[in-house]
Amino acid sequence: MTIALESPDQPDVIQLIDDLDAYQKPLYPPECHYGIDIAALSAAHVLFAVARDEAGTAIGCGAIVMEPGYGELKRMYVRPENRGQGIAAKVLAFLEGEAMQRNCAMFRLETGVSQPEALSFYARSGYVRRGRFGTYPDDPLSVFMQKDVQQ
């Protein structure tokens, strides 16, 4: 498996994002969806990573949006058939490492109450619950988390 920063504007990566949306959209009402689209993922201040298997197939992805003072984790996803192999943890560590090389020492995220696997994963990865941040509304279906790292 390889993990690298790539453009999200590739057919197999777009399919990953579409699969993520297909999974998440039934879990929450439309006004509670805070994912960002391919154009936003392509912005210069976004680190977008893709995990590929030995055949070069995109099997996972994630992004960190570099905000003033912190990086926001977005669009973390691993194909269901590739889960349980530590891919998400490797993508997360890769993204955090890339962001730390750019002097980012605080990571934040928003996820939903209906995703216990994600909540568990982030807690195991050192993220702790916190209050809302940025422009997020006060949404009872959202869970906000943060991780501070030593540079």
- Tell me the residue range of the domain where 91 lies: 2-148
In the predicted model, residues of the chain with pLDDT beneath 50 are: none
Question: What pLDDT score was predicted for residue 83?
Answer: 94
Question: What pLDDT score was predicted for residue 151?
Answer: 63
Q: What CA–CA distance (Å, rounded) separates 78 from 85?
A: 10
| DSSP code for 85 | S
Element holding 40 (H helix, E strand): helix 38-41
- Residue range 72-113, pLDDT digits in tens: 999 999 999 999 999 999 999 999 999 999 999 999 999 999
Question: What pLDDT score was predicted for residue 121?
Answer: 97
For the chain, how many structural domains are there in total? Answer: 1
Show Cβ contacts of residue 36 under 8 Å, excluding neighbours closer than 6 positions: 63, 65, 74, 75
pTM exceeds 0.85, yes or no = yes
Tell me, what CATH number does 30's domain have? 3.40.630.30
Asked if 105 and 64 touch (Cβ cutoff 8 Å), the reply is no
Cβ count near 113 (within 10 Å): 14
